Structures are given as C-alpha cells and as structure tokens.
Structure 1
Amino acid sequence: MNTDLSFRPVRDDDLPAICTFARTAEELYFLAPRARFPLDVEQLATSIAQRSDSRVVCRGAQVLAFANIYKHEQGACWVGNVAVAPQARRQGVARFLMQQMARLAAERHGASELRVSCFNSNTAGLLLYSRLGYTPFALEERLDSRQQPIVLIHLRLPHPER
C-alpha cells in the first residue's frame, strides 16, 4: 500500500503537470481521444469542465496521476481521463488512483459498479484493469487518429472496494 500517496480534487495549478503525462500522440489518444497532441491546459480545462469529480494522486506536492467521472447512471460510474505521470508508472499509483475513484463513486454517487473504457492497443491499461478485477462487457468499433479501425473495450468492476 502506498501510504505516502494522497488523493484530492484537481486544482488549476495541477493542469500543467497533468498535460505532461501523455508523452506521445498515441498516449494522448488513450487518455483523451478528441484532444490534439500535445495536450495543453486549455484542452484539459475544457475536458474537466464537462466531467465531474476530477481528482489527482500526489506524493507530497508532486502530481502523479489524474482521473475523473464522465457518466453515472443506474448504479454505475464511468471513470475516464485516467493518466499516470511517466516517472510514476508501475509503482502502484494507478491501482491507488482507481481504488480511490471507486470509493469516491460509491460515496458520492451510490455506485455499485465502476466502468472504464480502454483501447485494444493500450496493453498497459488492459493489463492494469485486468489485475484490478475489471472484466470486458462490450466492444465498440472506432477509428484511431490515422482513421484505422480500433476497438474500444468497455470493462466493469462490480461491487468496487468501498
């Protein structure tokens, strides 16, 4: 357990750091398919304004991860814009983030299920969600930034940890 991590609402001064999390156009596509690379504060602020419960994970003053809720319906919350700083990957930060988002969804929205969507080419994301107990329940065909077919996999975690 990462006891040195904290979880809090996003602040305006966090946005420049979050914008550095996607190092490539492909990483940004996984994070925010409609965004233009490189991500900038204006694009991120616009996305945040259209969503709820935007949160960050920090170690001290350093922002390490970000996510929000973009839909809640029929006992399920959809978590999106999930991103971890490159230097914090594979250290349990994403696990902590998703556990905290599950707790938030249950407490604030009464969610009994957490849902995420992940593109088929996002191997790291799919492995993370699988390790956390998420299972696929639907596939959606999309076109990637090069207008090539890609699959958006919708996953769910019933009864997330509270």
Structure 2
Amino acid sequence: MAVVFRPVADADIARICSFVGSPQELYFFFPAATWPLTHEQLRDSIAQRSDSTVIELDGQVVGFANFYRWASGGTCTIGNVIVDPEVRGAGLGAQLIGQMIHIARSKHQASEVTLSCFNSNVAGLLFYPKLGFVPFAIEERKNKQQERVALIHLRYSPS
C-alpha cells in the first residue's frame, strides 16, 4: 500500500464530492455547504482555504483536508476533513491529520494546531483524541434545521 500526500488538483474534486454520502455527513465535513455538495461549492471553499491536501492510496484519492485558519507562528485550524467511506478505519485519516499537523508546523511555524467537531459527530469525537487532540472550548451553533448543537473545539497536545 503506497500512500502519497499532495496538493489537491481540480481533477480530484468530483472524487472528493463522492465521499459525502448524506446531508449529515456533509454538515460534518463542510457545514456551510448545501446538500447535495456540488463541485462549485468545494472549489469555492478550496479557493478560500490554505494547503488543501489529498491522501492517495495506490494512486487513488482517498482523503482530503485543509486549513480554514492559518497564521505564521500562530494557529492553524484543520477543516474539511473527509475520508473515502470504502477505506475508513484503515488508519488513513490519522495519516492525513498527521500530515496536516506537519504542514502547519513546517510551512506555517504554527505554535498551535486546532480543529472543531460537532457533538453529533461521534466518530470524530472518538477519533481526534486518539491522535492527541484535547477539547478546550464548546461553542453553541444552529444546524441546518435551526436546532441547537455544540461545536467542540480541540487543540493538538501531543503527550
């Protein structure tokens, strides 16, 4: 299994969009987007973000992430994290997050790496602490149905 990280290319957009299987999954991946996810929505998001990165497994794109906040010497915040449903649970998401932490530190000299996860995203809430992320704040938000939800902010804190 050969794993490669590289910047996202326009040719990857359709494949990344295909990873989103439901409106709820889209909300976790890209809360500002509307269902169904279009190539234009993802392109627009990528244009406003930094370091949009894909992970390839044996030449096939199987994951995607980027930064929606980045500051040299400050905080980089990871967003738009998604992994192909066919390979979830195989450790590729952990490798992708590890690569984003590496980019934050090496390219941006980030002193802090953060990400956020909605309270209903149980898979994410169980996944990120295994990688060294620790909750530090909770923010009230409204979901697409205007229901109250909690956005849990996590900070990378390697042990």
TM-score, with length taken from structure 2: 0.95
* TM-aligned CA deviation for residue 114 of structure 1: 1.1
Q: Aligned partners of 1:19, 1:154: CA distance in 2, in Å? A: 25
Residue in 1 that maps onto 2:130: 131
Residue in 2 that maps onto 1:57: 55
* TM-aligned CA deviation for residue 42 of structure 1: 0.5
* TM-aligned CA deviation for residue 36 of structure 1: 1.0
CA contact (8 A) 2:104 2:113 kept: yes
SS of aligned partner of 1:94? helix
Q: Aligned partners of 1:159, 1:128: CA distance in 2, in Å? A: 15
Deviation string for 1:4-50 (max 9, x for gaps)? 21110000000000001110000000011111111111000000000
Q: Aligned partners of 1:63, 1:158: CA distance in 2, in Å? A: 28
- Could you tell me the percent identity over the aligned residues? 49
Q: Aligned partners of 2:123, 2:32: CA distance in 1, in Å? A: 20
CA contact (8 A) 1:113 1:159 kept: no
In structure 1, the gaps of 5 or more residues are none
Q: Aligned partners of 1:35, 1:153: CA distance in 2, in Å? A: 19
Q: Aligned partners of 2:66, 2:25: CA distance in 1, in Å? A: 17
Q: Aligned partners of 1:113, 1:158: CA distance in 2, in Å? A: 9
Runs of 4+ in 1 over 4 A off after TM superposition: none
Q: Aligned partners of 1:90, 1:60: CA distance in 2, in Å? A: 17
Q: Aligned partners of 1:58, 1:154: CA distance in 2, in Å? A: 28
* TM-aligned CA deviation for residue 112 of structure 1: 2.7
User: Is 1:157 matched with 2:156?
Assistant: yes
* TM-aligned CA deviation for residue 60 of structure 1: 2.3
Residue in 2 that maps onto 1:23: 21
Corresponding pairs, count: 158
- Aligned partner letter, 2:23: A
Q: Aligned partners of 2:86, 2:124: CA distance in 1, in Å? A: 16
Q: How does 1:75-154 map to 2 (within 5 A)?
A: 75-154=74-153
- Aligned partner letter, 1:49: A
CA contact (8 A) 1:65 1:85 kept: yes
Deviation string for 1:83-140 (max 9, x for gaps)? 0110010000100000000001111100132100000000111111011110011111
* TM-aligned CA deviation for residue 159 of structure 1: 5.6
Residue in 1 that maps onto 2:3: 5
Note the aligned Cα RMSD (angstroms).
Answer: 1.3
